[in-house]
């Protein structure tokens, strides 16, 4: 009798995300086992309990998922899990805190598509504003865009926090190979004048870019919003928009709404979970791998 597919799902929160559990089971994992309120110091013990309890065939049917709420914590736990493996006892690990990595990947991949289709250009050299960018989705999207060659600025209500997050993204998540700037929300009226792309990644139900700022964005090409709760994060961008012209834009900008991004996010997460099932070697998956898969999905869908 073959051993069942077991995904050990770790989270620092008091509850595991039902969304992630559904995604895991639908991807083919027979059992999704929750571990809640996990301290980072406990990762090593949990990982080694998982890998040493099964032989080589069983390990091919074993995986670890890392959830939680914080980007840095999830990456740290992913690295701890990797360092806890004892070859040949290794299993695939996938980090996606609050779905932020797959959401950010879907967002940037969708923007990349619109830039190519509508403006015959790429992210290279473009000026990007990440509004509400200090949260997990904003952080991951900022790094992905910067790694693709964009000049990214993270905007936050508190400039000190925005600066800390920008440095973290540049040095930790970008390995010091990218340079992300910071800015205060109070100054976005000036920044928007030279912006090509807007990422609205703030809390649900908060308008981050009003109609006046959309009109003032004379270089704007694409604006993407992950907020599906009214009011929209970007004036004139509906949750269903998929490259639709933004009403009131003087630059011919197009919008990408939350449900369009959400579909790509869903497909990306599903594919990564299936990739874990199919792999014969250890995988350590995070936002970079999510972006690769999101790109592949969009290419196949066209």
pLDDT tens per residue, range 79-138: 999 999 999 999 999 999 999 999 999 999 999 999 999 999 999 999 999 999 999 999
pLDDT for res 93: 98
3-state secondary structure (DSSP) of residue 86:
strand
Angle between helices 159-168 and 136-147 (to 10 degrees): 50
104-261: same fold as 6-99+264-301?
yes
Q: Does domain 104-261 have CATH number 3.40.50.720?
A: yes
Residue whose C-alpha is closest to residue 74's, from 66, 64, 82, 65: 66
pLDDT for res 1: 64
Fold for 6-99+264-301, please state it: Rossmann fold (3.40.50)
In the chain, which stretches have pLDDT less than 70? 1
Q: Where are the domains of the chain?
A: 6-99+264-301, 104-261
Task: Reduce the secondary structure of 167-188 to three states and give it as a string.
Answer: HHHHHHHCCCCCCCEEEEHHHH
Q: Count the helices and strands in the chain (H runs, E runs).
A: 11, 12
Cβ contact 258:232 at 8 Å: no
Dihedral, 75, 81, 84, 89 alpha carbons, nearest 10 = -140
Token readout for 202 is 């703030």
Instruction: Please calculate the CA angle 36-107-206 and round it to the nearest 5 degrees.
Output: 75
């Amino acid at each position: 009798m073959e051993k069942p597919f077991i995904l050990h799902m770790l989270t620092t929160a008091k509850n595991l995300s039902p969304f992630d559990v559904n995604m895991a089971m639908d991807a083919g994992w027979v059992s999704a086992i929750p571990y809640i309120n996990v301290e980072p110091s406990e990762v090593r013990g949990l990982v080694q309990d998982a890998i040493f309890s099964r032989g080589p065939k069983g390990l091919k049917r074993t995986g670890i998922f890392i959830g939680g709420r914080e980007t840095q914590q999830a990456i740290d736990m992913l690295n701890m899990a990797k360092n806890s493996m004892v070859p040949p006892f290794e299993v695939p690990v996938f980090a996606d805190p609050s779905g932020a990595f797959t959401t950010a990947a879907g967002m940037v991949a969708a923007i990349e598509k619109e830039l190519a289709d509508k403006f015959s250009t790429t992210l290279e050299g473009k000026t990007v504003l990440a509004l509400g960018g200090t949260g997990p989705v904003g952080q991951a999207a900022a790094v992905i865009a910067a790694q693709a060659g964009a000049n990214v600025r993270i905007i936050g209500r508190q400039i000190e926090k925005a600066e800390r997050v920008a440095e973290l993204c540049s040095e930790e998540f970008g390995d010091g190979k990218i340079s992300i700037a910071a800015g205060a929300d109070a100054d976005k009226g000036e920044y928007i004048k030279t912006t090509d792309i807007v990422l609205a990644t703030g809390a649900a139900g908060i308008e981050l870019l009003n109609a006046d700022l959309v009109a003032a964005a004379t270089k704007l090409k694409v604006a993407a919003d992950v907020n599906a709760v009214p009011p929209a994060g970007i004036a004139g961008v509906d949750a269903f928009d998929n490259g639709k012209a933004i009403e009131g834009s003087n630059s011919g900008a197009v919008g990408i709404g939350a449900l369009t991004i959400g579909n790509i996010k869903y497909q990306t997460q599903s594919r990564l979970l299936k990739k874990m099932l199919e792999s014969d070697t250890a995988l350590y998956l995070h936002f970079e791998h999510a972006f690769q898969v999101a790109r592949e999905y969009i290419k196949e869908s066209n």
